[in-house]
A and B are shown apart, each in its own frame.
Chain A
Amino acid sequence: MTLLSKTTPGDSVDIKQVTAQGKLGQRLMDFGLYPGLTVKGVSNAPLEDPMEIEINGYFLSLRHEEADYVEIS
């Protein structure tokens, strides 16, 4: 099982599932993360956390601890 948080900048990955429920789960879904979507790692912040990803042409930043709740294949 691989996690979105482990993605290195430049990699393109497919989302397998969002494991978080509740508020975090809802937020991840509201920001457009759903199974089957291709996500690209863009960069990490200067202090390594948070990370930046690209989805469908727009950019999201999220903390690694939050990206832990997204599984990729």
Chain B
Amino acid sequence: MLKLAELVADKRLIALAGQPNCGKSTVFNAITGASQHVANYPGVTVEKLSAFSSINSTRVEIVDLPGTYSLTSFSPEEKVSRDFILHDRPATIINVADASSIKRSLYLTFQLLEMETPLILNLNMMDVALKKGISIDTEGLAKELGIPVVPTSIKRGEGKKALIETTEKSVLSGVHSKFKVDYGPMESAIEAIASAITASSGSLSHPLRWLAIKLMEDDAEVKKLINSTIPEPNTIFNRAKEERSKFKKDQGESPEKHIAYARYKEANRINAAFITQKPMKNKSFTDKIDAVVCHKFLGPIFLALVVFALYNLSIVQGYKITNYTWPLLAKLRFFTEWIMPDPGFITEPMIRSLSLWFVDSVNALLNYIPIFFILFALIAILEDSGYMPRMAFILDRLLARFGLHGQSTLPMVLGGVYVGGCAVPAIMSTKGIPDEKARFATMMIIPMLNCLAKIPLYILIINIYFADHKSLLMVFIATITLMLALPVSKILTLTVLRNKPSEPFIMELPTYHLPTVSGVLKRAFERIWMFLKKIVTIVAAVAVVIFALLQFPGLTHERKAWYDNQAEAAITTFHQKIAKTSFGESLNTNDGHMELILFADRYKKARRGSSKASMKKINTRFKSENPIFYSITTGKGSKEAKTAKKILKKLSQSRKKLLRGIKQEKIKNSFLGKFGKALEPVSMWAGFNWRVNIALLSSFAAKESTVATLGVLYQQEAGEENQSLEKRMEQGEKGFTQLHALALLLMMALFPPCVATMITLKIQSGSVKIMLISFTYQSLLGFMIASAVFTISSLLGLTGLQAMFGFWILALFVAVIVGFIKPQKNITVKGGCYD
């Protein structure tokens, strides 16, 4: 027997094809192991899963084609599968079929046979079929179709070996079946077109009969193909046109329908010949579940429970896990601090500040990994169990009113339909929406929902300005975002997305399956990996750019000299005072004060979060390292140590104050700061001053940055140490009213997506344009709404709460009105192909 290694050298492939819900991914996982990788097919955003398998200890590439019911050119998935088979010429195709609905599966099998590639029919889920009373004459079926038929129950591990062996044989033999579906009265037309193609001078390596059938179907892609490869395609096209109209006239039926019906007729014939079904009386398991889950009243309640569980398990519980994982990330930061050059008294080496900024930016994202992991695992469970299409079934009517799709439900839940979600996994999960128009609309409104990172700012503002109405405000925020997102989606589908194709809603409600642990974990890991690879890397790169925008051009010479003087004065005072103690001598060096400060810093950090037992160890370690510094830092041992500690504290405080001042001035002077200031004449319409502008601008890297930036901008007042940011902001913005606060809340709610979200948008939509439109419309909309609410309410003299209620009712009104506008659907229901 030949070895497969020779085929690999030939770069030949094995493809896995099948209809959705036939257990294809289980088969793929079973025969490939864990080595798969996900990529996109060139030009489209259909995922391409391929893996190297170790059949007979040699490696063969196996490609998992997207699950499709048919192989027309109506959807990107079908086109991709078809092109792969035609152009990459796999050595063999494994056609996975659900053993309990062979009749339907054959519809695809016939189309694969027409492409004249070696084919194996894998009847999967035999155990389920047996339970349903179905018995199959596999040998008879194999003889009839002229291809090997392999029955398996891969989930139970049955038949895997036979499938691999058969694949190997098929690869080596390389013969394809001669089976043909009989198209009856159309056969003569097919032949006529085929000879027209043969007569032309072009060279086409595609199966002749397949081309002829596709031309009878008036397939747009095949026409394009012929147009580009055959010098005088019109002879062929005219022939096809003639045959089509002749057939329509003679048979009173469109050719494409006749073709489909002929395939079903053939499937019925084969089904009757080789498959017997014992009548079953019992209501199936799926029927029983659906009686509850799709019930008029119980269905929505169950859906609400699922959403609640999803939210609670991932966002709430996952957030708790981050309490345990965060220290690991903090260690990464400590490590970076440790390997970087030490800071000076009021200076910080550029490499140090850049590295720390970099680590902080990446950590902010990595911190979400536990949440994402739970989310991705739960999504996998929803997908595998079969509940996902039921969610769509229940909510489709409502969402369709706003240009969305039933399947937009899950992405919206993940994005934070109530409070607390994340746009990144939400946008990633829009992949399952077949309707392109609705998919783009969903992607584009998700950033408007309430992601986790917006919440710190909400809480800050509400705590300061609406302390008496906290829960009312939270309800307002949670509902207003949805009430704005829905009409926006409708408007997007009527304008920007007007020309995107819609899809019919028709979908299968598959039988319920119990998801396997390994399958769920595998998918969760895959998606986490993709998140790390694609998103975190780019965010890291963007973080560097934002760092530069916040850092440069830096302080002026005069200001720098002023800060140097202040620092000098503080240091001199320190040395004078400490000289009076017995510690003076050992600190009487140029850098003595700095060494002491760094020592105290390290000591503080080492003790943070340590247990009592390790505290003792730390104490001993630091004491033995430098007993004098240790005494000063702790202030223990003598009266003098206590005095010295006070002197040190004073120095640290002046240093911190200077550092904060420098940081604040640097931001104010930075490119981003100048931009924020330049925006002031416009942003004042929304009541935003330059400080708020900078905070909002800095949130592109990650929304959490808003609060951090505000923290820098609202400095501690001298003598009022350790005030909360709430107090500081309140004092720093004496002119701020509830209206200012409301405008800021609305701005944040509608604010443009963060960098990670933008990248995800680009990846999922495959379009930079969509990413830019999304960014622009959200910036404008957020600003316009904030300005309108602020300016109009100011003119009317409304209080913050009055304005809030007024706006809420207005938004509800708009949402309802917009819901009634009739949408435009781009589904062809007349004529031939859609092009």
Q: What number of A residues sit within 8 Å (CB to CB) of B?
A: 36
Most interface-central of A21, A62, A63 (chain B CB within 10 A): A21
Interface string of B72-110 (1 = CB under 8 A from A): 101000000000000000000000000011011001000
A61 and B398 alpha carbons, distance in the complex (Å): 16
In the bound complex, how far is the Cα of B256 from the Cα of A22, in angstroms?
9
Q: Are A25 and B264 in contact (CB under 8 A)?
A: no
Q: Which of A29, A30, A34, A35 has the most CB of B within 10 A?
A: A30
**Which of A45, A57, A63: most chain B Cβ within 10 A?**
A45
CB interface residues, B 796-835, toward A, < 8 Å: 827-834
- The answer to the question of B509 belonging to the interface, with a C-beta cut-off of 8 Å to chain A, is yes
Q: Across the interface, which residues of A come within 8 angstroms of B69, CB to CB?
A: 30-31
**Does B143 sit within 8 A of A, measured CB to CB?**
no
Contact yes or no, B504 A21, CB < 8 A? no
Residue of B nearest to A35 (CB): B261
Knowing A32-B264, A46-B300, A58-B104 are in contact, say whether A27-B393 is a contact too (CB < 8 A). no
Give B388 Cβ to nearest chain A Cβ, in Å.
12
B506 adjacent to A31 (CB under 8 Å)? yes
For residue B257, CB closer than 8 A to chain A, the reply is yes
Q: Is the CB of A62 within 8 A of B506?
A: yes
- Listed in ascending order, the chain B residues whose CB lies under 8 Å from chain A are 69-70, 72, 74, 100-101, 103-104, 107, 132, 254, 256-257, 260-261, 264, 286, 290, 294-297, 299-300, 389, 392-398, 400, 406, 501, 503-511, 827-834
A23 to B396, CA, bound (A): 20
Residues of A within 8 A of B501 (CB): 23
In the docked arrangement, what's the CA distance between A57 and B505, Å? Answer: 20
Q: Which residue of B lies closest to A32 (CB)?
A: B104
Specify which of B290, B294, B503, B827 is in contact with A22 (CB 8 Å cutoff).
B827
Contacting pair B393 A23 (CB below 8 A): no
Residue numbers in B under 8 Å from A29 (CB-CB): 70, 256-257, 260-261
Report which of B257, B396, B831 forms a contact with A45, defined as CB distance below 8 A.
B396
B320 to chain A, nearest CB (A): 34
Write out the residue numbers on chain A whose beta carbons fall within 8 Å of the beta carbon of B261: 29, 34-35
Nearest B residue to A48, CB-CB: B397
Q: Which residue of chain A has the shortest Cβ distance to B254 in the bound complex? A: A21
Q: In the complex the two chains form, what is the Cα distance from A51 to B394 in whole Å?
A: 10
CB-based contact B257/A22 at 8 Å: no
Contact between A20 and B394 (Cβ–Cβ < 8 Å)?
Answer: no
- Which of A22, A47, A56, A57 lies in contact with B398, CB distance below 8 A? A47
A20 to chain B, nearest CB (A): 4
Is B296 within 8 A of A46, CB to CB? yes
Known A-B contacts A32-B264, A56-B101; the reply to A61 vs B830 at CB < 8 A is: no
Complex partner residue of B507 from A18, A22, A61, CB under 8 angstroms: A61
- A31 engages B508 (CB within 8 Å): yes
**Given A23-B74, A24-B504, A49-B396: A58 in contact with B101 (beta carbons within 8 A):** yes
A26 touching B505, Cβ below 8 Å:
no
Minimum CB distance partner of B291 in chain A: A43
CA distance A34 to B503 in the complex (A): 20
| A52 contacts B by Cβ under 8 Å | yes
Contact, CB under 8 Å: B505 / A34: no
- A selection of 17 A-B contacts at a CB cut-off of 8 Å is A18-B257, A21-B829, A21-B831, A27-B504, A29-B256, A29-B257, A32-B103, A34-B260, A45-B396, A46-B297, A46-B299, A48-B397, A57-B100, A58-B508, A63-B400, A66-B504, A69-B829
